[in-house]
Structure formats: structure tokens, C-alpha cells
Structure 1
């Protein structure tokens, strides 16, 4: 039974809390949810009647649950936790970056009777990434391999340790670096990216550290480098394996001393910068081949993330395709409605040597070839159609799983997550449908949408549709 003091407090504040845009929920001393506001329903995709009475960790499935739980910290210490960043899994399995704050809840006598947690979604903060065509971790975390990486991001973002991201070209290394930046305390400061392979060594040094007027012929005025431009924020060094041994020595000194000198300068400048580096080559192999310094490797390899290629996480292709269609519709002011099953199966069966970047280019090409309606297989390049042939049982299994997940989610969405109606639409028995959802790991609200649809009966009153 809920504490009467808790019920009294919630009754007086319920109207106010339901009007705020931040999600708010409260728990009792057993961590059972006693209040769940409208914004929490919207962000997590759950109805409050599904949440109240359940354990908070079963409803608010956060990357901080367990040893890092801010609510547990608040309940134990009596102090508040402010603006801690995390990833939370919503009802349909998407990872949503949120900012979390917690406070203790006391009755009139000062006795602790529970706790309150507020959270707000951070998805809309990185408009620059959206404009540039980036995709958030929501779109690259549906495979088990990527979920393991994404679940670590809040802890990684909470520190200033150097991060090494390795993966093939086009796997989303810069996207992951931006995600770490957006989850960190530095998110209001600049994120500066440098492609180390795009510039010759002499230019790269001045690009990174800047120069003073008169440092060389043509240097008529001071120019700040990327380390200076990223002050207080994050510097992302892509393709670090391509820099020369000479520049490796200077970069090592900056990382060790946390200071640098512009070319032609005589005074050191403090580098208040979080450094994230990336490479599409195995740096340890380069070290063994004497192509990369041991000491620099150990300096940057504090936290290492290895991004798998898209061919090893094919179940993510439907979500990525859906995202790219929505983005190109927005950018090109088009109304492409989606993609046919045949075209989707073709995309899933392809190996993608260019990874996610290649998939994005294929969807952009399909937009050119498709004047309206739905993208069909004949809108894709002939070379891709010929190459997209399943070659192994594991590859076929991954492709089938991706198509099944997308098919079930689309049917559920059309039926307002009424699972029985979705099963009928697909011609499946409801028990088979429910078993398939569980087997594929699709997270859905416990309420199946039937109670939210109502109809009028003959005397003008409302009756629930069963």
C-alpha cells in the first residue's frame, strides 16, 4: 500500500507536473514507481498505468541502472544528483540520450519516504549533426555488438580520458565521437574534427597548433589551431595512423603535458581539450611494423572502441534505411513513402565495402531515380542487385531477422501497437506473434493499445473496443 503522505503530495502537484516537458517519476523506499507524469509517458512510450507499482529499473531502463544509479545514490546520501547523462531504452527498444536529476522525497516530519527523478531527452540538441547528415546512436544500436558499445557511452563521456575508435571507413567513427561529446559535460563547447590524412604533414602541424605572425613566409597574422579552437570542448583526430613519426612526437607531448606552442610561438598554451582519435587501420599492427610509436599508442589507447562493419550488423539496415529516407525527404522536400520488401531484402543481402556511408549514398541515388511513391528494387544499381546474394547461413539468418523485425514493427505501428490486430494483419496466430516478438527481442508497451481506442454506442456514450 502506498504511503498516504506520498499520495497527498502527488495529488496537489499532479496538474503542475503533467504540464512540464521534462519526464518525472517518483518511487517509494522499495524503488517502486508511485508517480509517472505525461512527459515520462511520451519519452518512454509507456502509459502511467503500466509503470506505477513496478520497479523503476524495469521501467526506466537506463545505462546508469545498477552500481551507477543516481536514485540509489540520492536515497542513500539524502543529497541531490544534477544533470547526469545516460542512455535509456524506450518501449520499442530505441536508445534515447537523457539528462537525469534526482532528489529525495520526505514527508512532513522529515522522514525519507522515496525519491524523485526528472529526465529530459537530449536528442534535439545536436542540430549540427542532423544538418550535416549524421545519424545518432539511436540508429546504430539495434545489434548486440553496437548495444554493448552504446551502453558504455555515458561512463566514457563522464571522463576526460583519451578514446581510440577503430573501424573500417564509413562505419560511423565520427558519429560515435560526436555522441560521446554530446553526452559529456563539454557538450556546450566546440566539437572540432580534423582528418589527419587529408593534409600534408607540414600543413597538418600548423592546422593543429596554429602559428604566430612571421613564423614563415606568408604568415602575416596569428592563426589559432584546432587545439585552440576546441578549448573546453572535444578534438576529434580522424585517421591518426597516417601522421608522420615527427608529428607523432609532438602530439605525444601535447597529450602528456596538456599544453602546446603555436608555430613561431614562445609561450605554452594550456590545452583544455578532450581528445578522441580514430583510425581505419589496426594501430597495434602499425606499431609492430614500426609505423606508429609505441608510447603514443599507449597514450591514446586508454579507452578503445572497435566498430564492427555493417555486414556484421545487418539487422540495423532497416532502421538506417528508414532514417535516411526521412532525412532526404526533409532535405529535398520529397514525400517518398518508404521502401518495398524486395528492395529492402536486396539492401540487406549486400556486403557494403563502404559501410554505412555507402548505404546512405545508395538511398540518395534511389531518391533521384524514384519520382514518387515507394523505392523499388529497380531504383537500386544493377551491380548491387547482382552482388546482393546470400552467401552463408549466418548471413541469411541476419538478413531474415532484420526483415522480420522491420515487418513486425511496421504492422504494430499501423495498429497503434495493438498486438492482436497486428497479428491478424500479418495472418499470424496471436500466440505465434507474441512468441516472435519475444524471440526477436522487440520491446513493446505491456498495454497493447486496445483500451485507448473507443467508439460511441447508440445512446451517445463511449464503449471500449475489444
Structure 2
């Protein structure tokens, strides 16, 4: 019996079960896997397994990869998995290689839910990352890195366009850290006039200026024992950059009008939508402060580059807006989902939130359709990037486009053809990352990631 003919048998199993090929594409997905993950079989088939079954081991120590490489079985590994509706569940998984009826090597993963007290972990029930709705592999990888960075006191620089969610990630960093019992204090460096910003950050003493009738602690003092989030740090005036650097390095500073320094113990998380590296070369931002802030840098891609996140986020904002405005709207129809997925979102997640509020307010039933959204959305489609691996029309976050047959590299396995295509494109463009990415229709980050994947 061939694998494709065995669906009924696997559906009768009392545990989740899926099979992947050598390219990690899902070939079989049983009914219990649908129930546990929240993804339907139609959505799962043809997807990369990490896109529908992402755990903390996907980027390192992947059980499936270990099983395929070793040729042995990996048994009863305990992991945590984020379901489609953003529930974090504890699972026990086993993996093994599988070859059926002379077919190519494949991997099998079996999994079942376990109770929290069986999970062998001290993960809190209210995991801060449960509040973040991400489905795109780039964002899932970013969350994995965030988990590793959070327990440390390292300074973190969050970069990305306006509206991508830098503030939410900053708060998640704090909530996952040892400082979570302390305060989280946010300051928008672009929202205050230069003359007020220093007193807001560092405070002042009575008599420091005309209206200083009493001592006032600054944001750094208010964040004592916790985290201070400096948003739009690229707009910080040059004179304050020097004072901030001193506060970071010495963990103390002088409030306005003070004769004695104030010592602080805070973690600094900064964010910017500007290219700080470029601003340092232009003399607009201190290089020493830049390097002090970016011990770890996390870049948040714009929403148009992570289309798998659009519909889940839209559904979240729909539910919130319906509750806020006492509306009956409960879901998007398929045409509304296509409209949202095709839109470029220049305002990123913030714009999506406001668009969903707009649609909910104009609705009078349970279903949102394209008619409930602003008409200008139809004239701002998202740029489509041709993929150089086989796509699947129902795979979350994956385009269904393919290269023309004449442009495909012939012969070898799927992975070999993809690697050859990369080498061919790099060679044609004299190994220019920018030109190669443009030819392939992907961004530079994606190209670098694929080069690392194949050891190029």
C-alpha cells in the first residue's frame, strides 16, 4: 500500500502523525494532527514542516533531522508548540526515518499532548509570547532568538519600519526576563522637544530651573530594577547621546541640577525605524553608543514580507474590534482574506489594526467582505516575489509562483537543484548579493539565509 493510499489508516491513530520528504515538505497529515495543530490537512500538505509545526528545536536539534541523519529513532522528546490559534501546548514527540515501497527517504513525526505537570519545564502558563500572533518562519525564528536573549541583561536594539511591532517585542523581552517583576518604562525619544527630553530621561533637582519646585525622578530612575525602552532612539539629540552613553557604561548619571550622581540598575532596549549604521557614518549618531546599544540586534520585517501573519493578525484585530464596538462580526470571507493578503500595508501591523476597526465598524452582520474595506486597498497590491522552490497555493505564507521550466536547473534532488540555482545566479552576477537578490526576486536577507542553509 502506497503512502498516499494510507490516509484512512493514519486517521484512525490516537496521536498526531505527519510525514515529510527530504525537503521537509509535508506529504501526509492525519486527523489528530489537524486537531492538535489547528491546521487543516489541505493547508498542511506541501508546506515546510516548520511552518505548521514550529517548536523551540526547529533551528537546532530538530528530532526529524536527527532521525534522518542517524537512521535511528528519536523517542519521547518533550517540546512546546504554538498552535494556529496561538495556544502554547506541551507535546511529546517521536521521530524516525521511513522508506515505503521503494520510495525516496522520508521522515515520520508522531506527537501527543501532555499535561503541564508532565512537561518537564517551568514554562509559565501565561507565556508572554502567547500574546504575539506570528506564523511566518522569519518571525518564528526571531521569537526563538528572543527567548535566548531575554534571560540575559544584554542591551537589545530592535529595528524595523514604523508599525511593525517593536514595542510589543520590547515588552515581551521584559516579561521573559528576570526583571519581569520590575517596572517596564517606555520613552518615545521623538515625541518630546529636545529641552524636555533630558529632564524626562534623567530627572531634575529642585531649583534646577525656574519651574523646578521639587525633585522629579527621570525615566531611568523609575525603571530601577526593570527595563527602560527607548523608542525612536535614532532621533536622540547629539548632546543627549553622550549622556546616555555615560549612563549605560557607568550605570549612573547626574540629574539636572544635581551635584551627586544617581546609580541605576536597568536593562536598556532601544528601537529605531532609521538606518543607524548609516547615520553613524554620516556623523548623525555616535558610533560608540550605537555599538553599546546593539549587543544584540533583532530586525522585524515589514508585514508585506511576512504574508503568513496577515490573516491571523486580522482575525485577532477583528475579534478585539467587534468586542470594543459591540458588533456581531466574527470572521472574514475568503475574498476578504485574499484582499488583505494582496495588500502592501505601508503602515504595517498598525495599519492592519486600523483597517480591521474600519471594516468592523461598517459591518452589520457576522461576515466581513471586501466591501467593508477602503477601496484604495485594491490599488496598492503587495509586491510578489517569485520563489525558486516549488510553491503550494494553500501553504501559509508561501507563494504559489514557480520559475518557468526553462529557468529551472535540471537534474538532481530538489535540494541540489535549489543550491545549483543559487550558485548559478551568484556567478552570473559576479557574487553581488544585491544584484543576485534582485534577479531572483527576493530580498537580501532571504538570499543570505538560503546561502547559509546550503553552506555557500
TM-score range, shorter chain: 0.5 to 0.7
1:378 & 1:232 partners in 2: Cα distance? 50
1:239-318 to 2 correspondence within 5 Å?
239-318=232-311
For 1:356, the equivalent position in structure 2 comes to 349
* SS of residue paired to 2:229: strand
User: Where do 5+ consecutive residues of structure 2 fail to align?
Assistant: 1-34, 38-52, 62-77, 91-117, 400-456
Partner residue of 2:131? 136
Question: Given the alignment, which residue of 117, 120, 125 partners 2:120?
Answer: 117
Contact conserved, 2:188 with 2:232, CA < 8 A, in 1? yes
Matches of 2:119 and 2:79 in 1, distance apart? Answer: 18
Q: How far apart, in 1, do the equivalents of 2:274 and 2:237 lie? A: 15
Supply the distance in 2 between the matched residues of 1:205 and 1:325 (Cα, whole angstroms): 40
Q: Which residue of 1 aligns with 2:81?
A: 89
Q: Against the structure 1 CA distance between its residues 122 and 246, is the aligned structure 2 distance closer, same or farther, given a 3 Å change threshold?
A: farther
The answer (yes or no) to whether the contact 2:322–2:330 under 8 Å persists in 1 is: no
Q: Distance in 2 between matches of 1:345 and 1:388?
A: 11
- The within-5 A match list for 1:192-231 is 192-231=185-224
The number of equivalent residue pairs is 307
**Residue 168 in structure 1 maps to residue 193 in structure 2:** no
What TM-score results when the alignment is normalised by the length of structure 2?
0.61
Paired residue secondary structure (1:181): helix
Cα distance change, pair 269–226 in 1 and its aligned pair in 2 (3 A): same
Counterparts of 1:91 and 1:314 in 2: how far apart (Å)? 18
Q: Tell me what 2:226 maps to.
A: 233
Alignment check: 8 A CA contact 1:343 1:377 kept:
yes
Residues 1:328 and 2:317 aligned together: no
Deviation at 1:353, TM superposition (A): 0.8
Match of 1:252, SS? helix
CA contact (8 A) 1:96 1:123 kept: no
Report the Cα distance in structure 2 between the residues aligned to 1:369 and 1:288, rounded to whole angstroms: 48
Moved over 6 A (4+): 64-67
Compared CA separation, residues 152 and 124, structure 1 to 2 (3 A): closer
Matches within 5 A, 1:4-153: 45=36, 61-62=55-56, 88-90=80-82, 92=84, 94=86, 96=88, 117-123=120-126, 136-137=131-132, 139-140=133-134, 142-153=135-146
Maintained 8 Å contact 2:203/2:218: yes
- Give TM-score, length-normalised by structure 1: 0.60
User: Given that residues 97 and 123 in structure 1 are in contact (C-alpha distance below 8 angstroms), is that contact kept between their aligned partners in structure 2?
Assistant: no
- Whether the aligned pair in 2 keeps the contact of 1:236 and 1:275 (CA below 8 Å) is yes
- The answer as to whether partners of 2:309 and 2:397 remain within 8 angstroms in 1 is no
Deviations 1:153-205 (A, max 9, x none): 12211110100111000011011111111111111211111110111111000
Alpha-carbon distance in 1 for matches of 2:190, 2:394: 38
How many Å separate the matches in 2 of 1:341 and 1:359? 17
Instruction: Give the superposition deviation at 1:61.
Output: 4.3
- Spell out the pairing of 1:383-462 with structure 2 (5 A cutoff): 383-388=376-381, 391=384, 393=386, 401-402=395-396
Q: Secondary structure at the match of 1:262?
A: coil
Query: How many Å apart are 1:322 and its aligned residue?
Result: 1.1
CA positional deviation for 1:60 = 11
State the 1:292 CA deviation.
0.5
Residue 361 of structure 1 and its aligned partner are, at CA, apart by 0.6
In 2, Cα distance between equivalents of 1:373 and 1:273: 47
Deviation at 1:62, TM superposition (A): 3.8
CA distance in 1, matches of 2:384, 2:128: 41
